[in-house]
Amino acid sequence: MSFLMLERKDRGVCVDIELYRSNKNLSDDLVDSIFEKAVSGKTLIKNRRTLTIDYVPEKLPFRDEETKTIAQTLAVVLKGARPSNLLLFGKPGTGKTAVIKNVVQRLHQKAKDLGIEVTVPFVNAKSANTGYKVLYEIAENMGINQEEEKKLQVHFTGLSMGEATDRILDFIQKKKKLHVVLIIDEVDSLVERNGDDILYNFTRANEQISGGGFISLIGISNSLTFKDKLDPRVRSSLSEEEMVFNPYTVEQLQKILADRAKLAFNDDVISSAAINLCAAMAGRENGDARKAIDLLRVAAEIAERERLTNVEEKHVRLAQEKIEKDTNHEVLKNSTTHTKIIILAIMKSKNGNTGEVYDIYSSLCNNAEHEPLTQRRITQIISELDQLGLVSSDVVSKGRYGRSQRIKITVPTLTIREAFKDDPSLSTWDLVD
């Protein structure tokens, strides 16, 4: 067969005409209809942005009390007084970040209208994954790095934590009446990683600042036990005020989803049965609004891919399966090498009893030239895996020989292989039965 190569010099594109002609009939109709539909066909989703994680709706139903209390706490800043430090707690997806973002946005607007200088740096301590990065982002948010004098700036690297903190405090001092409300979201991961030095320095900073400027701190955490890890001095200053966000009920989730569906979908695209199922599934898992919205989005994407014009309950069920599979994949992929080896050992074990699993684990470790962990540590890791729902363990009675634990993997073998396949510290034969 002869191929004719046509060079489009104007765009530098090479088109293989013969190949194009021979394939044209096969895929043309399909591709054309997809494009056609994208332009003119009825689509399910009218505003995709409203289903993304970063989208914060203007109205947050069932959070009026929380919004009001935070606004009242912060309002004093408009009169030049320092707001109390504040700690917000609550399980994932209970609206902590969304509420604070809404209040802060309006505070900014009001301060601007009144000509008051308020700075509200917002840092997520989990995504800024080192203590220094947290300080760097605070400095960036406050505009310190726009300072002309280089020696006042907090560079991306190269300073000690103490020096970076001092430069932030010097900046507040130098600006005289600068009012800073520092928000540290997911503050528990900062403390977990770096202890509470940064929080200590900022809660104590007002003793050093003179001339009308100040700094208040708002910490947000989804770990209710986070406070126990703080030094008592930090704990008492940081929690001058506290607020707990309760999980949403199924009925509340239904309303939140119905409002969101109106923004996101074209009319009559999603049934109330599908919305109620999303709410019921997310309600079962800790009243998490993020989970509920994720279910809605993924269900719509599934229906969209099937080129349907409605989202139904079956799409929500498929969405649940997909999200679970993706979450398992992420957890498995990011687990430590020893956890991965334990999972492989459980898969290879015939009767699943702890002794046998440990023996297989030890021999896999030897093959991979890793020093095995103690049996006690392995038992701990297995119980963590149990809590994550990746393994299940029953206690089996063996009559007069006592009782023994039987451990089983609860996720499909394929999911595990997929998640482990790129880990260089596992030899490929370990992944084969």
Ligand X SMILES: Nc1ncnc2c1ncn2[C@@H]1O[C@H](COP(=O)(O)OP(=O)(O)OP(=O)(O)O)[C@@H](O)[C@H]1O
Query: Which residues are at the interface with Mg ion (CB under 5 A)?
Result: 97
412 sits near ligand X (criterion: CB under 6 A): no
Which candidate, 335, 380, 344, places its Cα nearest to that of 362? 344
Neighbours of 192 (CB within 10 A): 14
289 sits near ligand X (criterion: CB under 6 A): yes
Contacts (CB under 6 A) with ligand X, residues 293-312: 293
Contacts (CB under 6 A) with ligand X, residues 170-199: none
256 sits near ligand X (criterion: CB under 6 A): yes
CB of 185 to Mg ion, least distance (A): 6
Of the pair 85, 97, the CB lying nearest Mg ion is at 97
247 sits near ligand X (criterion: CB under 6 A): no
Of the pair 41, 57, the CB lying nearest ligand X is at 57
CB of 113 to ligand X, least distance (A): 26
CB of 186 to ligand X, least distance (A): 6
CB of 249 to ligand X, least distance (A): 12
Of 73, 86, 89, 93, the one binding ligand X by CB under 6 A? 93
CB of 257 to ligand X, least distance (A): 9
Of the pair 93, 352, the CB lying nearest ligand X is at 93
Of 94, 189, 254, 349, the one binding ligand X by CB under 6 A? 94
97 sits near ligand X (criterion: CB under 6 A): yes
Residue count, binding to ligand X (CB under 6 A): 20
* Cα-trace Rg, the chain: 28
CB of 83 to ligand X, least distance (A): 20
d(CA 416, CA 94): 31
Indicate which of Mg ion, ligand X, none lies near residue 41 (CB less than 5 to 8 Å, by partner kind).
none
Contact 137, 121 (CB under 8 A): yes
User: Is the backbone of residue 192 left (phi > 0), alpha (psi -120 to 50) or beta?
Assistant: alpha
Of the pair 62, 200, the CB lying nearest ligand X is at 62
Indicate which of ligand X, Mg ion, none lies near residue 56 (CB less than 5 to 8 Å, by partner kind).
ligand X
Of the pair 92, 195, the CB lying nearest Mg ion is at 92
Of 43, 75, 76, 92, the one binding ligand X by CB under 6 A? 92
95 sits near ligand X (criterion: CB under 6 A): yes
CB of 286 to ligand X, least distance (A): 10
60 sits near ligand X (criterion: CB under 6 A): yes
Indicate which of ligand X, Mg ion, none lies near residue 333 (CB less than 5 to 8 Å, by partner kind).
none
Neighbours of 386 (CB within 10 A): 14
96 sits near ligand X (criterion: CB under 6 A): yes
CB of 268 to ligand X, least distance (A): 22
Indicate which of ligand X, Mg ion, none lies near residue 175 (CB less than 5 to 8 Å, by partner kind).
none
Indicate which of Mg ion, ligand X, none lies near residue 287 (CB less than 5 to 8 Å, by partner kind).
none
Mark 222-241 with x for binding to ligand X (rule: CB under 6 A) and - for no binding: x-------------------
Of the pair 135, 256, the CB lying nearest ligand X is at 256
Tell me the window of 161-169, 196-204, 288-296, 336-344 that interacts with ligand X (CB under 6 A): 288-296
d(CA 164, CA 135): 7
SS3 track for the chain: CCCCEEEECCCCEEEEHHHHHHHHHHHHHHHHHHHHHHHCCCCCECCHHHHCCCCCCCCCCCCHHHHHHHHHHHHHHHHCCCCCCEEEEECCCCCHHHHHHHHHHHHHHHHHHHCCCEECCEEECCCCCCHHHHHHHHHHHHCHHHCCCHHHCCCCCCCCHHHHHHHHHHHHHHCCCCEEEEEEECHHHHHHHHCCHHHHHHHHHHHCCCCCCEEEEEEEECCCCHHHHCCHHHHHHHCCEEEEECCCCHHHHHHHHHHHHHHHECCCCECHHHHHHHHHHHHHCCCCHHHHHHHHHHHHHHHHHCCCCCECHHHHHHHHHHHHHHHHHHHHHCCCHHHHHHHHHHHHCCCCEHHHHHHHHHHHHHHCCCCCCCHHHHHHHHHHHHHCCCEEEEEEECHHHCEEEEEEECCCHHHHHHHHCCCCCCCHHHHCC
Which residues have C-beta within 8 Å of that of residue 241, sequence separation ≥ 6?
A: 73, 84, 85, 86, 87
**First vs last Cα of the chain: how many Å apart?**
46
Of the pair 97, 339, the CB lying nearest ligand X is at 97
Of 19, 20, 41, 61, the one binding ligand X by CB under 6 A? 61
62 sits near ligand X (criterion: CB under 6 A): yes
Binding-site ranges for ligand X (CB under 6 A): 53, 56-57, 60-63, 90, 92-98, 222, 256, 289-290, 293
